[in-house]
Structure 1
Amino acid sequence: MTDQKTTRSAAASGAAPASRLAAVRRSGLAEQVAEQLLEDVVAGVYPPESRLPPEPVLAERAGVSRLTLREAIKELRQRGVVRVQQGRGTFVNPPETWAQFDSTLLNARAATEQGYELAHELTELRRIVERGIADLAAIRRSDEDLGRMEDAVSRMKAAWASRDLDEFSSADVDFHDALLRAAGNTFAMTLFHSVDPALRRVRRRTVEDSAELSERAIDYHTKIMNAVRRKSRKSAAQLMDDHLRETEEFTAQLAAGANPAG
């Protein structure tokens, strides 16, 4: 009751409740601290399974109160980055246990992973979903959508000719993004936009591992674009499935080679 009276009094006087503003400020600061800790984890300052320094030490380093630090740790716990073991401390979890569709965390995992498990899993996901995306794109595409695809394919060809692998991998992902836009499914767009930074990073890693697969990607993209232009749903979907099946098999070989059975 007292809080309600205080709130009404503050509203009548034109002043915002100070406690709410303080909570917003503290929350924003906690998010900043959480991001700083995540950067340290990604940089290897706190590797997987290592224990973070005690709360007073971390709070002092960050220049924040212990309450703010706890809120930052709570956020990282909710995102799966760390776990708190009563009486032992706070430990860093392996990246594969982090929140999988948190764009920041997924990109961080892509940056730290030495093998190709993530590339393979993302390719499996893409094959499951993008066949349907190609199907929808073939009946929903606009001239503007076709223009985006043509631009992406042209950039891929030019980048491959000059062996600009950064531009090639970027144009590759942009082609698939153009198809996604053409399909016009908001849930699919949300899903793929959450993995986009990680997808671009792993695509850049894999593109230099197989010249033949990269050249075939240009051919597949051209054929898929033409099928979409003709509004041939069956052809577009089948070509996409064939394209990503090859990529899936390739990333499976990379993953197996990086982690041979022992």
Structure 2
Amino acid sequence: MTEHLANGTATSSSRRADADLATANRAVLADQLAERLLDEIVAGVYPPDTRLPPEPVLAERAGVSRLTLREAIKDLRQRGVLRVQQGRGTFVNPPTVWAPFDSTVLNARVSLEQGYELAHELTELRRIVERGIAELAAVRRTAADLARMEDAVRTMREAWERKDLDTFSSADVDFHDALLRAAGNTFALTLFHSIDGALRTVRRRTVEENAELAERAIAYHTKIMAAVRRRARKAAGVLMDQHLQETEDFTASLAAASAAHRERVGRAAAPGR
């Protein structure tokens, strides 16, 4: 009897293990499918406000079960990328309503953006938060924090001399990341890490548009680092505010110009013209 119960328990445990493995595999497939659908949306296969193909078609095309497909769609719904209209199907939402702090979705949204509205919004957020970050960094910084800032500024200078815009832009963001780490606020660090990829893309685009502003960034970073080094809290905050105000003004002008261009194109393409 004992042996029978032991065998029965082993069989039951084996079945549970198989079920858990199947669930895990389905979750992995659902994640992969969600990423694939997002890539297709970004590529324009499914533009905003268009309806996705029916479930059976999508599932067969992806080579997954309908259950796995539903999990992938649920994931993208939670991120604001898709919406389900009862009786009509699943539709793609405009990027403006996608989850703002989901790094994967935000990176996809940046790659979709034709203008600079998102770049301007991100710069506004940075200016609001990073003045305080610079002030905290001046109080809490360590020698290791200063070393990271120095390395970022040095890399910016060297990259700018070579006109290596990718490295320059990345080092620019690295400097601000070093300040974040020096500030020691985990909530601010988490917030900015969720938009890190988007910031790097945006910075790369703005560097291409304004070389003077890029050069001034090196000068500002040097001054901010000096203020942080001497623990001059107020000066570090003021310098950061001035630095990001210049960037904010520039991205605002780019956003306005791109919006005006789209409006002109829309009017020209309107019926009757």
Q: Deviations over 1:81-114 (max 9, x none)?
A: 0111112111111111111100000000111101
Of stretches 25-34 and 101-110 in structure 1, the one that deviates more from structure 2 is: 25-34
Task: For residue 50 of structure 1, report the CA deviation from its aligned partner.
Answer: 1.3
**Alpha carbons of structure 1 residues 32 and 247: separation in structure 2 relative to 1, 3 Å:** same
Distance (whole Å) between structure 1 residues aligned to residue 79 and residue 240 of structure 2: 33
Question: Are the equivalent residues in 2 in contact too, given 1:59–1:66 (CA < 8 A)?
Answer: yes
Q: Deviations over 1:188-224 (max 9, x none)?
A: 1100000000000011001111111111111100000
Name the counterpart of 2:191.
191
Name the counterpart of 2:14.
15
RMSD, aligned CA: 1.5
Task: For residue 25 of structure 1, report the CA deviation from its aligned partner.
Answer: 2.0
Task: For residue 11 of structure 1, report the CA deviation from its aligned partner.
Answer: 6.8
Name the counterpart of 2:59.
59
Q: TM-score, normalised by structure 2?
A: 0.89
- Counterpart mapping for 1:154-233 below 5 A: 154-233=154-233
Name the counterpart of 2:267.
none
**Alpha carbons of structure 1 residues 191 and 10: separation in structure 2 relative to 1, 3 Å:** farther
Distance (whole Å) between structure 2 residues aligned to residue 72 and residue 160 of structure 1: 43
**Alpha carbons of structure 1 residues 247 and 15: separation in structure 2 relative to 1, 3 Å:** same
Name the counterpart of 1:3.
none
Task: For residue 22 of structure 1, report the CA deviation from its aligned partner.
Answer: 2.4
Name the counterpart of 2:143.
143
Distance (whole Å) between structure 2 residues aligned to residue 11 and residue 192 of structure 1: 48
Name the counterpart of 2:44.
44
AA partner of residue 207 (structure 2)? V
Q: Secondary structure at the match of 1:231?
A: coil
Structure 1 segments of 4+ aligned residues over 4 angstroms from their partners: 9-14
Distance (whole Å) between structure 1 residues aligned to residue 220 and residue 10 of structure 2: 63
Q: Secondary structure at the match of 1:73?
A: helix
**Alpha carbons of structure 1 residues 86 and 146: separation in structure 2 relative to 1, 3 Å:** same
Task: For residue 47 of structure 1, report the CA deviation from its aligned partner.
Answer: 1.1
Task: For residue 127 of structure 1, report the CA deviation from its aligned partner.
Answer: 0.5
Distance (whole Å) between structure 1 residues aligned to residue 184 and residue 190 of structure 2: 11
Q: TM-score, normalised by structure 1?
A: 0.93
How many residues are matched?
A: 254
Which consecutive unaligned segments of at least 5 residues does structure 1 have? Answer: 1-8
Question: Are the equivalent residues in 2 in contact too, given 1:180–1:189 (CA < 8 A)?
Answer: yes
